[in-house]
Amino acid sequence: MRNIFILLGLLIGFSNQAQDLKAYQIYNTDGEAISFASMANELKDADVVLFGELHNNPICHWLQHELSMALYDSNRTMVLGAEMFEADNQAALNLYLKDSIDAKGLDTLARLWPNYKTDYAMLVDFAKSNQLDFIATNIPRFLARQVFKQGLESLDSLSDSLKAWIAPLPIPYDANLPGYQAMLEMMGGHGGENLPKAQAIKDATMAHFIVLNLPEDGLFIHYNGDYHSKDFEGINWYLNQYREGLNIKTISTQTQERVSPADSASLGHADFTIVVDEQVTTSY
């Protein structure tokens, strides 16, 4: 009989533990666990929301879609934009948004990421169904590659048509920003000083197209890799260079063995932190 009670106790304990499993938890800047609704409510008055994602994390992509729906207000203009679309693909994206081409046509005309169908199509389709602009904010990859190989100065000789796809030159650049310094350290010096410059031209270009398409008294939600806005640097830093006084809110995504409590290393990188269980299956 005693063994039966022990077994029942273990089963109940296991059941309670299983019921407590969570895929994610959101934290504010004070490290307090908050609800999705609370985060959305605090973001509704922002000018720009930078959603820093982990590209292969399905929780990120689901919450991006949910947040876009939660912040949508027919009385306030909303624009969406993403790192995953390069500026020279804007024309193709516009054709799709206006129903001039179908999804297959977009796949043919634009350089879509391999995980577009599973992770980003629903965001574009949300914009399409609500007649919202969706901005391709990133620099064309061949130009970012040129900076990596030849430096920022190599962009000066570009034609005017190519310069239209990047931030105005010369871009502000601070090599001492911690994020760019960390990039050099992480790579052990490989890539040289042009590595963070290639990152900077991406950040600057995304910020430029956000400001260029920012609706008056409206909201721009931007989806980008976490590193592009983490620690209030990257895109966030360039937004402040291009337009002072913007109400910018950032979201960072981190992974942990369990989503609570939050590790100190996971917090402080953004206005809101989404901690995802590291066991969550990735999309690729």
Q: What is the pLDDT of residue 191?
A: 63
| pLDDT of the residue at 75 | 84
| pLDDT at site 150 | 96
Using the predicted structure, report yes or no on whether residue 14 has a pLDDT greater than 50: no
> Total structural domains in the chain?
1
Domain assignment of residue 196, yes or no: yes
Distance CA 29, CA 231 (A): 12
**Predicted local confidence at residue 20, as pLDDT:** 72
Give this prediction's pTM: 0.92
Say which amino acid occupies 6.
I
Long-range contacts of 122-125 (CB under 8 A, 24+ apart): 122/61, 122/65, 123/61, 123/64, 123/65, 123/68, 123/80, 123/82, 123/223, 124/93, 124/96, 124/97
**Residue tagged 């270009």 (tokens):** 205
User: β-strands 33-34, 134-138: how paired?
Assistant: unpaired
Per the structure, the complete domain to which residue 261 belongs is given by: 23-277
- Flag whether 102 is in a domain: yes
Mean pLDDT of all residues belonging to the chain: 92
Largest CA-CA distance found in the chain, in angstroms, rounded:
85
Write out pLDDT tens, residues 165-185: 999 999 999 999 999 999 988
Measure the CA–CA gap between 209 and 260, rounded to whole angstroms.
37
Confidence of residue 189 (pLDDT cuts 50, 70, 90): low
- CB 14, CB 184: distance < 8 Å: no
Counting every residue written for the chain, the total comes to 284
User: What pLDDT digit, counting tens, does each position of 49-71 carry?
Assistant: 999 999 999 999 999 999 999 99
How many Å from the N-terminal Cα to the C-terminal Cα in the chain? 49
- Does 54 map to a domain? yes
Q: Which residue has the tokens 């947040």?
A: 67
Domain assignment of residue 284, yes or no = no
pLDDT digits (tens, 9 = 90+) for 85-99: 999 999 999 999 999
Q: Above 90 in pLDDT, residue 73?
A: no
The CATH number assigned to the domain holding 61 equals 3.40.50.11550
pLDDT in tens, 230-283: 999 999 999 999 999 999 999 999 999 999 999 999 999 999 999 999 999 998
Task: Give the tens place of pLDDT for each residue, 103-145.
Answer: 999 999 999 999 999 999 999 999 999 999 999 999 999 999 9
In this structure, is residue 169 part of a structural domain?
yes
C-alpha to C-alpha distances, 219 to 79, 122, 202, nearest whole angstrom: 6, 19, 21
Q: Is residue 91 part of a domain?
A: yes
